Homo-oligomer: A and B are copies of this chain.
Amino acid sequence: MSEKKQKLTEISELGEFGLIDHITKDIKIKHSSTLKGVGDDAAVIDHGKTCSVVTTDLLVEGIHFNLIYMPLKHLGYKAVVVNLSDVYAMNATPKQITVSIAISGKFAVEHVEQIYEGIKLACDTYNVDLIGGDTSSSFTGLAISVTAIGEAKKEEIAYRNTAKPNDIVCVTGNLGSAYMGLQLLEREKEIFSSNPSAQPSLEGYDYILQRQLKPEARKDIIEFFATNKIKPTSMIDISDGLSSEVLHICNKSNVGCKIFQDKIPIDGETSQMAEEFKIEPLIAALNGGEDYELLFTIDMNDLDKVKDHELIHPIGHIADKKHGAVLITTAGQSIPLQAQGWNQMKSK
């Protein structure tokens, strides 16, 4: 790369979200069919009777996954699921995916087969067609790029920027478990590195390991919304931790919120592992990431429709912007939420 002698700006100065904002701030949309471009879980294209939602993710070895503990079949499955989660977060139904893979020379046909076994299993589980992509060489690590395309009627689509004061904030499932699964895998990897004859002690932690290695996307919740005629006033999937996602909704919707610590759902196995690691379980839930649960807001009038669903947990409400986005602790303190999230680029 030839280069003028100018001062260069390190990417860590902006962080991942800052860099994306910087790069995409001056994008102008040319086609009226582009209903939503950059800035939500997925883009939205209008086809008249229906809309497509489109989302894409590029996963690279060593950053997004570690082949030391990630079986290839699980990797293929997860690469698909994380994209489907973005489609569900638009209140849309995923229909098609494309997959591109770049593989280094250490891979054999059987390895690629394992990755595709996982991809096809995810396609079957979520009723999605694999419609294209390619496989090429890489000099370095493995990279997988998945694009998912979903379908929805225009009026059904849930965005990030449409939450309004007094809406109820809900999350699905539980939070922090995938992060604790990752901590466990990292610990056992370290032990194995220093003593290759050591056996990994992963027993009794099936749930948090599965949440990290083979996460699922919230097809069930979107189907529940459809059956019960619930339209979230805003929605996002939880990939970077609850704090980060709550702040996305608040910033895009120009509102504040109150989230109550004692309402945040945390699984027992997650708490137990957090204690072993001397991590506050709340921190894993707020900043852990990779939960692939849904965070959404509903009108107060719809609360009755969701409150008996075992997977849906009201955790707070939307407020005026002037109140900020805060966590109310069990002790009654009010703490501003901060997006620590999974900001890979700031951590380097």
- Interfacial residues, chain A to chain B (CB-CB below 8 A): 1-2, 6, 8-11, 13-14, 16, 19-20, 22-24, 27, 29-31, 33-34, 36-38, 42-43, 45, 47-50, 52, 54-58, 60-64, 67, 71-72, 95-96, 98, 100-103, 105, 107-113, 116, 120, 123, 127-141, 143, 145, 147, 149, 151, 344-345, 348
Contacts and interface: CB of A to CB of B under 8 A. Distances in A.
A11 B112 CA distance: 9
A136 B30 CA distance: 26
A130 B49 CA distance: 23
A345 B64 CA distance: 25
A64 B137 CA distance: 9
B43 A116 contact: no
Nearest to A114: B1
22 contacts: A1-B111, A8-B110, A11-B107, A19-B135, A20-B134, A23-B112, A27-B130, A30-B129, A36-B131, A37-B132, A38-B132, A43-B98, A52-B149, A54-B131, A56-B132, A56-B133, A58-B102, A61-B139, A64-B136, A102-B143, A138-B141, A138-B143
**A contacts with B: majority SS:** mixed
A345 B52 contact: no
Given A55-B132, A105-B348, A34 B96 contact: yes
A222 B220 CA distance: 43
Which 6 pairs across A and B sit closest by C-beta, in order of nearness? A140-B140, A8-B108, A58-B100, A145-B145, A43-B131, A47-B47
Given A1-B67, A50-B47, A63-B136, A109 B37 contact: no
A94 to B, nearest CB: 10
Nearest to A8: B108
Contacts of A55: 98, 132
A102 B24 CA distance: 16
A135 to B, nearest CB: 6
A100 B116 CA distance: 21
B128 A23 contact: no
A345 to B, nearest CB: 6
Nearest to A151: B33
Given A56-B147, A130-B38, A147-B54, A96 B31 contact: yes
A158 to B, nearest CB: 16
A63 B137 contact: yes
A143 B95 contact: no
Contacts of A113: 23
A105 B345 CA distance: 9
Given A11-B109, A95-B31, A57 B20 contact: no
Given A22-B109, A109-B19, A138-B63, A45 B348 contact: no
A48 B151 CA distance: 13
Given A9-B109, A58-B145, 19 more contacts: A1-B111, A9-B108, A10-B108, A27-B129, A29-B131, A31-B95, A31-B96, A37-B132, A43-B131, A45-B52, A47-B49, A56-B132, A58-B136, A60-B102, A60-B136, A60-B143, A61-B139, A63-B137, A105-B348
Contacts of A57: 100, 134
A16 B109 CA distance: 11
A139 B102 contact: no
